[in-house]
Amino acid sequence: MKTMEEWNAEAEPNIPIGALYASIGILCEIIYIPFMIVMLRPEFFQYSCYKFMFLLGVIDMIVLPGNSIISGIQCMLGYHYCNNPRFYFITGAIANCVISPQP
């Protein structure tokens, strides 16, 4: 079994790919905000389809940081599962639990 120093020595930061992951996630979060605000207007929110779309938007906004922003930062730093397995497990479990109820 490798020590933490050995795992850290294997880290290969990939700044361009990590920046791409993180920036796409941030951009998607920013784009979601006006759509979510519009769907909350009474003339739209009275229809059940907009309520479902709003719920799916909330779920996506909760999952998106774990799937892209955190992953992008970890890619830029060169981290992998063996650096911090508890953190990876918790973020993966949260993302899976939140996105699983989607139809």
- pLDDT score recorded for residue 17: 94
CB 86 within 8 A of CB 30: no
Number of domains in the chain: 1
Tens digit of each residue's pLDDT (9 = 90 or more) over 6-51:
877 778 889 999 999 999 999 999 999 999 999 999 999 999 999 9
- pLDDT score recorded for residue 102: 63
- pLDDT score recorded for residue 57: 92
Asked whether residue 4 carries a pLDDT value surpassing 80, the answer given is no
Residue 32 lies in domain? 4-99
Q: How far out from the chain centre does Cα 41 lie?
A: 26
Considering only CA atoms, which of 26, 35, 98, 15 is closest in space to residue 68? 26
* Residue 85: pLDDT band with limits 50, 70, 90: confident
- Distances in whole angstroms, Cα of residue 17 to Cα of each of 2, 33, 45, 70, 83: 27, 25, 38, 13, 19
Average pLDDT on 68-87 reads 87
Considering only CA atoms, which of 64, 69, 56, 40 is closest in space to residue 103? 56
Average pLDDT on 57-79 reads 88
- pLDDT score recorded for residue 103: 61
Asked whether residue 53 carries a pLDDT value surpassing 70, the answer given is yes
